[in-house]
Amino acid sequence: MAKRKIRADFRKGHQGKARRGDLTRELAQDDRAEDRLVSSERVSGKGELTRKRTIVGQDGDEASGLSVLRDIGHGSLRGRVLAVFGLASQVRTDDGRLFRCATRRVLKNMSTDQRHVVVAGDIVYFRQDGEENGLIERIEPRRSVLCRTSRKRQHVLVANVDQVVIVTSAAEPTLKPNLIDRMLVEAERNRVRPILCINKIDLVEPADLQPLAGVFGQMGYQVLLVSAERNIGMAQLRGLLAGKASVVAGQSGVGKSSLLNSVEQGLGLKVGEVSEENQKGKHTTTSARLIPLAAGGYVVDTPGIRQFQLWDVIPEEVAGYYRDLRPYINLCKYPDCTHTHEIDCGVKNAVADGRLDVRRYESYCHLFAGDMV
């Protein structure tokens, strides 16, 4: 990409004070001081009150979430973000060196919808500052993300992954199919391969899981029935993770860290217990962490998710992300059919005929109605 000057949006407070303090004293000393005050913004957007700034860089893309990409300086190092701890990021270079990096102020002050400008999995360029410290100067465009809505902003859980392993548990805590549906929508939207992994099958009769597993399997999703405690299905999971960039996601207490401890020997991730009173897990993983695998590739362990509110998805788009509903959309009488109340609806007819799972259809209706949490 060619370098060029770009007008970038910045957060409120980046610019200096629009007016100087103690105007009364200044006017008393100089009658013409009032004429020098900034009272309006120029049409060009280059006045003292603007939140824009001209910087030299390259255009980003939609996945990056940034207005621009800062140009990198001479001698910058390339690395991947392993984890983010507050204002510092742990970055691993291509030759295996680890650095603790701060983020350049101009990047943090860019106006974006994201909660954090740097996330686990990001490819960054940074300037070395000492033997183990650095300053991130540029964030490369993200080829894929897994995100949700948090406090009305985009919360990117991880970037640059090939597949997402959606972990749920057969029991303790109870399985939540609707949470799986939302995460499948996010995976479909970002073109990330989803793998459904049902853990703790030793606590139930495996045959009881076949109806649910069969519904997802018929849609083409790979479903694994595993038990980290009994080492059931671990070899298959280990093979799927080898050589891939993966993220493990799911609600608290389903055994994500236990699965990774079984996949990668000597990892020693902290494991918590599920409350007997409310069947909810405790947060033992506090931030997303990228873990290189001995078999190649890496996996990202994420904090437990109790709510998964979709980001930037409008109700009219939901049906297109349901793999089992898509074939019947073109059979609807009306091109703007919502598949909820219209007559001669191809989706509703498929449900009535038994070709579509009733629970999946009800899950779609909840999301379409705005129940994104």
3-state secondary structure the chain: CCCEEEEEEECCCCCCCCCCCCHHHHHHHCCCHHHHCCCCCCCCCCCCCCCEEEEEEEECCCCCCCCEEECCCCCCEEEEEEEEECCEEEEEECCCCEEEEEECHHHHCECCCECCCCCCCCEEEEEECCCCEEEEEEECCCCCEEEEEECCEEEEEEECCCEEEEEEECCCCCCCHHHHHHHHHHHHHCCCEEEEEEECHHHCCHHHHHHHHHHHHHCCCEEEECECCCCECHHHHHHHHCCEEEEEECCCCCCHHHHHHHHCCCCCCCCCCECCCCCCECCCCCCCEEEECCCCEEEEECCCCCCCCCCCCCHHHHHHHCCCCHHHHCCCCCCCCCCCCCCCCHHHHHHHCCCCCHHHHHHHHHHHCCCCC
> pLDDT tens, 4-32?
554 556 555 545 554 555 656 665 666 66
Whether pLDDT at 277 is above 90: no
> pLDDT tens, 143-170?
999 888 877 788 888 999 999 999 999 9
Whether pLDDT at 222 is above 50: yes
Whether pLDDT at 3 is above 50: yes
- For domain 153-301, give the CATH number: 3.40.50.300
On the 0-12 / 13-18 / 19+ scale of CB atoms within 10 A, 313 is middle
Q: What pLDDT shows up at residue 36?
A: 58
More confident residue, 10 or 291: 291
Q: Which of 150-159, 176-185, 330-339 has the lowest mean pLDDT?
A: 150-159
Question: Per-residue confidence at 328, pLDDT binned at 50, 70, 90?
Answer: very high
**Nearest to 242, CA basis, from 293, 313, 285:** 293
Domain ranges of the chain: 1-21+48-142, 153-301, 315-368
Q: What pLDDT shows up at residue 373?
A: 43
Q: What pLDDT shows up at residue 20?
A: 53
Architecture in CATH of 315-368:
Orthogonal Bundle (1.10)
Q: What pLDDT shows up at residue 108?
A: 76
How many percent of the chain have pLDDT more than 90?
A: 51
Question: Per-residue confidence at 279, pLDDT binned at 50, 70, 90?
Answer: very low
- The answer as to CATH 3.30.70.100 being correct for domain 1-21+48-142 is no
Average pLDDT score, the chain:
81
Mean pLDDT of 77-93: 92
Distance of CA 285 to the CA centre of its chain: 16
Q: What pLDDT shows up at residue 349?
A: 97
Question: Per-residue confidence at 345, pLDDT binned at 50, 70, 90?
Answer: very high
Q: What pLDDT shows up at residue 60?
A: 47
Mean pLDDT of 267-278: 62
How many percent of the chain have pLDDT more than 70?
A: 73
Question: Per-residue confidence at 288, pLDDT binned at 50, 70, 90?
Answer: confident
Q: What pLDDT shows up at residue 338?
A: 95
More confident residue, 333 or 281: 333
Whether pLDDT at 278 is above 50: no
Mean pLDDT of 28-40: 59
